Structure 1
Amino acid sequence: MALLANRESQLFIDGKLVAGSAGTFPTINPATEEVLGVAADGSAEDMGRAIEAARRAFDETDWSTNTELRVRCVRQLQQAMTERVEELREITIAEVGAPRMLTSAAQLEGPVADLSFCADTADNYQWTTDLGVAEPMGIKTHRTLAREAVGVVGAITPWNFPHQINLAKLGPALAAGNTVVLKPAPDTPWCAAVLGELIAEHTDIPAGVVNIVTSSDHGVGALLSKDPRVDMVSFTGSTATGRSVMADGSATLKKVFLELGGKSAFVVLDDADLAGACSMSAFTASMHAGQGCAITTRLLVPRARYDEAVDAAAATMAGIKPGDPNDAGTVCGPLISARQRDRVQGYLDSAIADGGRFAAGGGRPADRDKGFFIEPTVIADLDNNAKAAREEIFGPVLTVIAHDGDDDAVRIANDSPYGLSGTVFSADPERAAGVAARLRVGTVNVNGGVWYSADVPFGGYKQSGVGREMGLAGFEEYLEIKAIATAV
């Protein structure tokens, strides 16, 4: 791989690293606003060639049926990424603005390690199930269920955790026997493009099985949803874009996986350690500048202790200063772009207009004249109907809302178009479990438990998505089931 300085990435189509037909576009360091280098700018024509290569590789090679080859190739990719992890770390910090501490977890090393789960699952999976002999309609028949790859998968990924999301799609899709066209976000093209370089140099993945098209044009990614040669689209991003993906895919009735937005609630019950829970909530909301779909951004606290809860959250957030993501102690780095920073500021302005107040933060840090930074912010005195309490902000912003007991807390938590994640804190484990069971969400943290793991499915209810990523359920998203009935 090239050095980070003045790096120029390429497309990866049909086993070859190639230039983009639309030229190049810059990738920006969000902490400094400096141009890091350029990425190949793929066009609709490039995307068409990538789809054709993936279609041909699926239809004309044994990739979908050669489990041994697939397992070996996924392990080779993991090994190549492990050997280059320090270079990948520097790219991730510079391009994503990810705090260095997170690259040892979900921003890099975690998802690389998780590739083992994909390879192991494929290696040990029961690809066929014998249902035995029966006599439906009086005809003696031997029945078998076969599980097969869906086909060509279009993977469209966002910028906030690019390695985690790219690999959470590529790993199971490839291990299950599919071919893939990956279209990453324009903000983080390098994190995807390096996969093409590693695949070309260090794996036996056949030409056309993986194709990576970086582009400054979001419309290029939309072609994956519309093209009849694509059998499935796996999309992670905003709920609004997810609706478009689903609508575009409906024309060919292709399979669609969607992991979308969230406005998750951190529920503190009246017997919990209030200060400790509120401090944890504030810390979580500040991580990676709040740029995570499952981050709990509504803090629900007992009304009788509301002011105390606001003060505890504000004390924690006020102590978390936006900083250089290269520094080992940085928790809150920059937002990804000026556009995103302005979007977050718009939500902060709306909070004041709706009658709220800032208990901490509220805008750009005074000590930083470069970089797309926003102060970790605590909003108080809003109810659950305010814009800042209902819509996904995707910044280091926590809205504190009062509740009047367990039933009311559950009502408020579920009063959302989203249903991605949640947290419950209580001194009584059974009480906490009872509240957790009533939350209409895909993942729940109870008293500090961690649900993020390669073997745990991730996804949401309602407008937070369709389907599950990771775990056995995530692997099986990329499979079809065929019933074979043989007369005996």
Structure 2
Amino acid sequence: MTAASELQTTLGAMWGSRDPQPDLLDLVRRTPSGSPLLLVDGKRREARSGARFENVDPTTERVMGTTADAGPDDVEEAIAAARRAFDETSWSTDHAFRRRCLEQLHAGLARAADELRATAVWEVGAALRTTFAFHSDFALDLLPWFAELAETYAYDTVLPDQPWAAGTRRMLAREPVGVVAAITPWNFPLYTAMTKIAPALAAGNTAILKPAPQTPWHATLLARVVAEETDIPAGVLNIVPTSDNQVAELLTTDPRVDLVHFTGSTAVGRRIIANSAERIGRVALELGGKSANILLDDAPIADLVPVAAGMVCWSAGQGCVLPTRLLVPESRYDEAVELATAAYHAIPYGDPREPAVVQGPQISAAQRERVLSFIAKGREEGATLLAGGGVPADQQTGFFVEPTLFGDVARDATIAQQEIFGPVLCLMSYRDEDDAVALANNTAYGLAGSVFSGNPDRALSVARRVRSGMMSVNGGFFYARDLPVGGYKQSGLGHECGVLGFEEFLETKAIAIGS
């Protein structure tokens, strides 16, 4: 087995990828058609203005098709429809009906699973073999779990009597927030949509989904399934792709929206918080990260470094939880450099339609330039470029960046502090365990992290000291429908998934009933 194929196999096992079957290979190599229409008040339609925007394949740089471009009138109609559906229908109170509708949605999307995977390759540039996880199966798996919770969750809790409240019955009632604006990014568009839409609808809310303009077809495919294969009432879920950020921002300022649930950059998250101050509205934010992967001195470094390095190239590095800082003991640093450099030269990258490829292109020309500017900054600030660092010589078409590895990275260097969102790894050394924890915590972010040790108890002890909302110990996988996802510090507010994620979409009402 070659180094490339061995690394590919190991990464595949960790991230849920697998060899695509012939039918999927055939599908992904056809000319895509997409689903171009909005979903507003139960109807799939064009934008009121008739405007459309282009959907560009990041692998070929060709325009694949166009999508209806929602304007202010469309967003206004979507908000009004969601408000009316919440205020005037039984959606918020009919738990069994919500469960049935979400189970219908799951069945419809499951039938379209290969189309969803192909769409991820076309518009995200995701490597085909990696589309079985967050681009399809993991995302769809959220729906039946939240569907069941819609009916089984204990919405009312009776509190025990207190001496000073004799003769008064007391209870807590959990009720849906109301209208939810769900704003999603382009890197994992289906999964991030499901982390919002599934619990929001299950909890009895109505919603407006605004997908990223780079990846509209995931959302419009969802719109097609909702309209054609479910009994979800008109106005309960509205889907409004738009290429205009000012139009999208209307969702964050309208007082009829009760909760803005956003996944994306910390900079945009700050703006959403500022907008919420005007309307005194709730927000939930899943933002950026600069995760550290700590290999303790008793960890099997020879086995772990190649995989730890390769993980950063999964999804072309475009993932907020990816461990973009690899921390190794000073005594093993030279060994880690050799191992990581060899791994980076072995990572299979290129056309994501090819079954062997692990890393595809960046999402856009702008994102490629952003990544390249960080690489230039790393070199300028004195880090040692060990592998990659530019546009592949054999990939002049498409938004590709070579798998890139830096060593000798200063702790406060730009590339060690800021989220690059590309296939760039900072290899850094630490003196002892306390120094490793301090280094891991030395950023404004606190989203995720990893710790490896030959002693599981030691690894867990270190994990508890890292200021991050999610930690992997010895390879444990922290994404699951029943585990809450959330960050510390500038990585976000609130949670997704799990019961905590469900409760983000509920209000709490205290009720006292006199005798």
The two structures have a TM-score, normalised by structure 2, of 0.92
Moved more, 5-14 or 385-394: 5-14
Name the structure 2 match of 1:218: 245
Q: Could you tell me how far 1:428 is from its partner in structure 2?
A: 1.4
Mapped partners of 2:75, 2:99: distance in 1 = 27
- Tell me the amino acid that sits aligned with residue 357 of structure 1: T
Contact 2:348 2:356 in 1 (8 A): no
User: Contact 1:11–1:40 at 8 Å: present in 2 too?
Assistant: yes
The number of equivalent residue pairs is 485
Q: Quote the offset at 1:6 in angstroms.
A: 4.1
Residues 321 and 376 in structure 1, CA contact (< 8 A), matched pair in contact too: no
Q: Aligned partner of 1:101: which letter?
A: R
| Post-superposition CA distance 1:156-214 (Å, at most 9, x none) | 00000001000110000000000000111010011111111110100000000000000
CA contact (8 A) 1:311 1:359 kept: no
Contact 1:260 1:465 (8 Å CA) reproduced: yes
Amino acid in the other structure paired with 1:48: E
| Counterpart mapping for 1:157-236 below 5 A | 157-236=184-263
The CA deviation at 1:226 is 0.4
Structure 1 partner of 2:157: 129
Q: Distance between the aligned counterparts of 1:44 and 1:379, measured in 2?
A: 45
SS in 2 for 1:104: coil
Report what 1:332 is aligned to: 359
1:448 to 475, 480, 484: 475
> What SS does structure 2 have at the residue aligned with 1:251?
helix
1:59-458 paired onto structure 2 within 5 Å: 59-136=87-164, 140-458=167-485
Q: State how far apart, in whole Å, the 2-side matches of 1:314 and 1:467 are.
A: 38
Look up the equivalent residue of 1:483 and give its one-letter code. Answer: A
Aligned to 2:71: 43
Residues 182, 210 of structure 2: 8 Å contact kept: yes
Residue range with higher mean Cα deviation, 85-94 or 177-186: 85-94
| Cα distance in 2, alignment partners of residues 280 and 382 from structure 1 | 20
| Separation of aligned partners in 2, 1:228 and 1:125 | 28
Whether the 8 Å contact between 1:321 and 1:375 is mirrored in structure 2 is no
Q: How many Å apart are 1:135 and its aligned residue?
A: 4.9
8 Å CA contact retained: 1:15, 1:207: yes
Change in Cα spacing, 1:4 to 1:131, as seen in structure 2 (3 Å) is farther
Aligned-pair distance for 1:364? 0.8
TM-score norm. by structure 1 comes to 0.98
Query: Relative to structure 2, which stretch is displaced further, 297-306 or 138-147?
Result: 138-147
1:26 aligns with 54
For 2:443 and 2:214, how far apart are their aligned partners in 1? 29
Q: Return structure 1 stretches of 4+ with deviation > 2 angstroms.
A: 3-8, 132-136
Q: Displacement of 1:155 after TM fit?
A: 0.5
The Cα shift of 1:16 comes to 0.3
Shift of residue 235 of structure 1? 0.3
Mapped partners of 2:82, 2:448: distance in 1: 34
Residue from 468, 484, 487 that aligns with 2:511: 484
CA deviations 1:443-471 (Å, max 9, x no partner) are 11111111111111111000000011011
The answer to whether the Cα contact below 8 Å between 1:47 and 1:213 also exists between their aligned partners in 2 is yes
- Once the two structures are superposed, residues 137-159 of structure 1 have per-residue CA deviations (whole angstroms, 9 ceiling, x without a partner) of x6621111111100000000000
Give, in angstroms, the shift of residue 321 of structure 1. 3.2
> What secondary structure does 1:296 align onto?
coil
Question: What is the DSSP-based 3-state SS (H/G/I as helix, E as strand, rest coil) of the residue aligned with 2:148?
Answer: helix
1:382 deviates by: 1.3
Stretches of structure 2 that go unaligned for 5 or more consecutive residues are 1-29
Q: Aligned-pair distance for 1:134?
A: 3.9
Read off the aligned partner of 2:158 and give its amino acid letter.
Answer: D
Unmatched 5+ residue regions in structure 1?
Answer: none
Residue deviations 1:10-54, cap 9 Å, x none? Answer: 111000011113400000111111111001101111111100100
Deviation of the 1:402 alpha carbon: 1.0
Distance 2:357 2:280 in 1: 45
Tell me the SS of whatever aligns to 1:263. Answer: coil
For 1:114 and 1:153, how far apart are their aligned partners in 2? 18
Q: Secondary structure at the match of 2:285?
A: strand
Q: What is the letter of the counterpart of residue 428 of structure 1? A: N
Q: Deviations over 1:269-293 (max 9, x none)?
A: 1111112221121111010101100
Deviates more, 1:280-289 or 1:173-182: 280-289
Contact 1:159 1:184 in 2 (8 A): yes
* Alpha-carbon distance between aligned partners in 1 of 2:501 and 2:352, rounded to the nearest angstrom: 31
Three-state SS of the structure 2 residue aligned to 1:26 is strand
- Cα displacement (A) at 1:314: 1.4
Asked if the contact 2:35–2:224 (Cα under 8 Å) also holds between the matched residues in 1, the reply is no
What is the letter of the counterpart of residue 438 of structure 1?
R
Q: For the residues of structure 1 that align with 2:501 and 2:338, how far apart are their CA atoms? A: 40
In angstroms, what is the RMSD of aligned CA positions? 1.2
For the 8 Å contact 2:35–2:220, the answer to whether it is kept is no
In structure 1, C-alpha distance between the alignment counterparts of 2:493 and 2:156, rounded to whole Å? 26
Q: Is the 8 A contact 2:32 2:122 kept in 1?
A: no
